[in-house]
Amino acid sequence: MKRKLTLLSNTFFLAIVLFTSCKKSDPGGDITPPPPPPPPAPTILKDASSVPVGVGVNYDLLKNNASYSALVKAQFDRVTPEYQMKYGANITNSGAFNFTNTDDFFSVAQAGGLAVFGHTLAWHQNNNGTYLRSLSGTTGPNPLLNPAFENGFTNWFTQVSTTAPASGTISLETTDVQSGAQAAKIVVNTPGPNAYSIQVVSDNFNVTSGSNYKLTYWAKAAVNGQALRVVAQGTTYYAQQDQALSNTWTLYTFNFTPTEAAVSVKFHFPNAGTFLIDNLSVGVSSSLLDPVQVKTALQNWVTTMVTRYKSKVSGWDVANEVVVDGTGDLRTGANSTGSGGDYFYWADYLGRSYIADAFRWANAADPAAKLFINDYNLESDNRKLDSVIKIINELKAASVPIHGVGLQMHISINSSNAGIDNALTKLVATGLLIHISEMDVRVNPSNTTPFTATQALLDQQAQKFRYVAEAYFRIVPAAQRFGITVWNLTDADSWIVTPARPDAPTLFDAGYNKKTAFTEFIKGLQ
């Protein structure tokens, strides 16, 4: 019996074990399945953000460096040309436009699926100072008779030579004029054997031998870059200048110093094309720049540039860095350090009004474009910040078409988070679109040399990039978010980095590798 009981007990125990095992494998039981793995962290900036993410780019690198170009196209929605859309990149020493490289920049960007933000129309740097400083005024009455062809070709001699192969026409244009009712129109089908085979010549006028004279004239060509020749000639005295023309009305100048008491002004046409000339003036050169010519030069630039790339940009930095650090005063040559070269201070000749004028001209050229005022140190200089806001309010009160403000955000690991919040909060109160327009974060703000960017410094940089992105989404309402643009792609092409200023201010290192800053910045964008 003892053995039987033992066998029964063992049998009963086995049954319990089997029952229990079956219950554990029952899919209808109470055991909670493990949670699904988290989605992979985003690795593409433009995919992580609800607003456009842009980058300031170098045109040559975007066009010719495959690694650079591929990274830009992969990570960003929008590009801002670092230099290529500025005045100095598109205006020659004679004042003519040359858009060859800028047109190509747009072709490269569009082929890569990249939107373009226009930068910049009115700035005190990166101008063509040689041309702008040639815009001196004149004294004395205009000795040219019928200088705008309002009386036809009275006081002018016109010639289309009958010597083969010269072929063309000279007539009056009544529709496409610079001002008034008429302009001279010269069509050169085939140039003649001499530059003067087709020409328009003024009557002789009296001059003072040895004095410096300036001829100003408005002209345009049917095709950008077509050239004419302007001449001042007496009996033996002769001076000439070949001038390539824009395909929009542009004011050109020609300086000459006659050695006789009378000369005439001549336009020769040694090249095929269609040319228009209007509103000429001659006077003794002044040592002072002529505000009228300076204003005309700025208007021509803004109007031509915005018209040419109409509907091809998402917005424009119209007025750039118009306020001086520390004081909040309007920037002029007297209160700024840079001079000569490509520096040219529009306010020196046009005062405060150039800002409003630039916005109005840009809006007239492309009413759909978003127009911005753009400046730096607004997160660290309250006086400057308040001065920019004062200008914004003045423009709005005068019904000037301004749509946004660019906060450049060239900052460092030491920049105050409270200052960043303060700038964003105050700028949001203007009601304008807010663009973080040129962001980079220096890890060596003291310019220490030699310098190594330690991981601890790079971690601080990463947190600052993240903070700015998070603050943007926390403070700026959705309707006012225009986007965030970082300035330069890698540490190797950063404008900050020089032998005397070693640093690592961007999201990518010199080998196109993502830095810790990238990892944290993309978190802030989400």
Tell me which residues are annotated as active site. Answer: 321, 438
Q: Is 158 helix (H, G, I), strand (E, B) or coil?
A: strand
**C-alpha 378: how far from its chain's center?**
20
Q: What is the dihedral of CA 355, 357, 359, 361, to 10 degrees?
A: -150
Contact 272, 189 (CB under 8 A): yes
Place of tokens 């750039």: 320
Across the strands, what pairs with 275? 186, 221
Report the alpha-carbon distance of residue 58 to residue 494 in Å, rounded: 10
Report the alpha-carbon distance of residue 23 to residue 46 in Å, rounded: 51
Pick the closest to residue 280 from 369, 178, 359, 173 (CA basis).
178
Give the burial class of 9: count Cβ atoms within 10 A of its Cβ; 0-12 exposed, 13-18 middle, 19 or more buried.
exposed
SS3 for 340-357 is CCCCCCCHHHHCCHHHHH
Question: 335 to each of 373, 379, 389, 454, 463, how far by Cα in Å?
Answer: 20, 21, 20, 38, 36
Sequence-ordered list of residues with C-beta below 8 angstroms from that of 475, at least 6 positions apart, any chain: 421, 424, 425, 428
Six token digits for residue 287: 């040592």
Q: Are strands 238-244 and 227-233 parallel, antiparallel or unpaired?
A: antiparallel
Report the alpha-carbon distance of residue 31 to residue 410 in Å, rounded: 55
Sequence-ordered list of residues with C-beta below 8 angstroms from that of 24, at least 6 positions apart, any chain: none
Report the alpha-carbon distance of residue 485 to residue 439 in Å, rounded: 6
Q: What is the CA radius of gyration of the chain?
A: 33
Report the alpha-carbon distance of residue 236 to residue 262 in Å, rounded: 11
Contact 135, 253 (CB under 8 A): yes
Cis-peptide into 450, omega within 30 deg = yes
Pick the closest to residue 49 from 517, 508, 373, 466 (CA basis).
466
Six token digits for residue 198: 């087709």
